């Protein structure tokens, strides 16, 4: 790899900026994303920043089971995030639609509409699992480079240490 490419890979791994999108979530996972940035978990150590605009973000964090009303918004926001980009499905809802399965108001799960790279299951997932998912997504971003290839599906299991705290 050329030195410039290596520098770019390192930069992508070290500076994941997130955009948080709620597609009909119960707010449980959204609170956990905010908790991941709080003093106790402090995701900023990894260079994580929660951005206000999807244009600035590298990683799209989607929570919620994707309601029929939210499908258009999810697709629009995904297109507004500029490449190279990754998508994290946070919580069990975007992965499987969870307890809302077979509901007529849903059009989920998320990977029906977007290429999802990392799944962080849990109802809600712990903040440390979310941080692990973001770190994984940042590595995927660095690996993928400028080519937009197939999603590299990863599952972040909840750590036992976190559960015992």
Partner 1 sequence: MTLLTALARLLIFPGLLFAVPAAWFFLWVERKSVALMQGRVGPPFMQPFWDFVKLLGKSTPPRTGIAGLIMRAWPLIAVSSAAGAVGLLPVLPASGGFEGDLILLLALLELPSICIIAAGFSSRSIFGEIGSAREAALSVSYNIVFLLAIVSIAASQHTFRLEALAAAPNTPLHWLGVVAILVCLPAKLHINPFSLPNAEQEIYAGPMTEYAGPELAMWELSHGLEWVAGTGLVATLAAPHLGSVWIAALLFIALSIIAVLLLSTLAAATARLAIDSSVRFYWQCTLIFAILAVSSAILVRFRS
Q: Is the dihedral of CA 146, 150, 106, 119 positive or negative?
A: negative
Site for partner 1 in 57-96 (CB under 8 A): 58, 82-84
Closer Cβ to partner 1, 8 or 31, answer by number: 8
What is the total count of residues that contact partner 1 (CB under 8 A)?
Answer: 25
* Alpha-carbon separation of residue 105 from 57, 69, 91, 102 (angstroms): 29, 8, 19, 9
Helix 28-36 to helix 127-144 angle, to the nearest 10 degrees?
Answer: 70
Q: Report the C-alpha gap between 158 and 120 in whole angstroms.
A: 8
List the one residue from 2, 3, 45, 150 that touches partner 1 (CB under 8 A): 45
Q: Report the C-alpha gap between 18 and 31 in whole angstroms.
A: 15
Structure tokens at 8: 């770019």
From the list 45-53, 63-71, 86-94, 102-110, the region that binds partner 1 by CB under 8 A is: 45-53
- Interaction between residue 47 and partner 1 (CB under 8 A): yes
Instruction: Report the nearest approach of partner 1 to the CB of residue 11 (Å).
Output: 4
- Interaction between residue 11 and partner 1 (CB under 8 A): yes
- Interaction between residue 160 and partner 1 (CB under 8 A): no
- Interaction between residue 51 and partner 1 (CB under 8 A): yes
- Interaction between residue 146 and partner 1 (CB under 8 A): yes
- Interaction between residue 163 and partner 1 (CB under 8 A): no
Q: Report the C-alpha gap between 85 and 157 in whole angstroms.
A: 22
Is the separation of the CB atoms in 158 and 126 below 8 Å?
A: yes
Binding region for partner 1 (CB under 8 A):
7-8, 10-12, 14-15, 17, 39, 42, 44-45, 47, 49-53, 55-56, 58, 82-84, 146
């Amino acid at each position: 790899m050329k030195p410039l490419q290596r520098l770019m890979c390192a930069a992508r791994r070290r500076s994941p900026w997130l955009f948080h999108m709620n597609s009909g979530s119960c707010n449980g996972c959204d609170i956990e994303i905010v908790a991941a940035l709080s003093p106790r978990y402090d995701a900023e150590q990894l260079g994580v920043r929660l951005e206000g605009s999807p244009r600035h973000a590298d990683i799209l964090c989607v929570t919620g089971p994707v309601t029929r009303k939210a499908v258009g918004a999810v697709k629009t926001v995904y297109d507004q995030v500029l490449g190279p980009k990754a998508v994290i499905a946070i919580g069990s809802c975007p992965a499987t639609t969870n307890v809302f399965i077979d509901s007529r108001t849903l059009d989920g799960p998320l990977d029906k509409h977007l290429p999802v790279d990392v799944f962080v299951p849990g109802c809600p997932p712990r903040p440390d699992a979310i941080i692990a998912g973001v770190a994984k997504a940042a590595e995927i971003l660095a690996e993928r480079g400028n080519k937009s290839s197939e999603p590299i599906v990863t599952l972040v299991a909840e750590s036992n240490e976190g559960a015992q705290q």
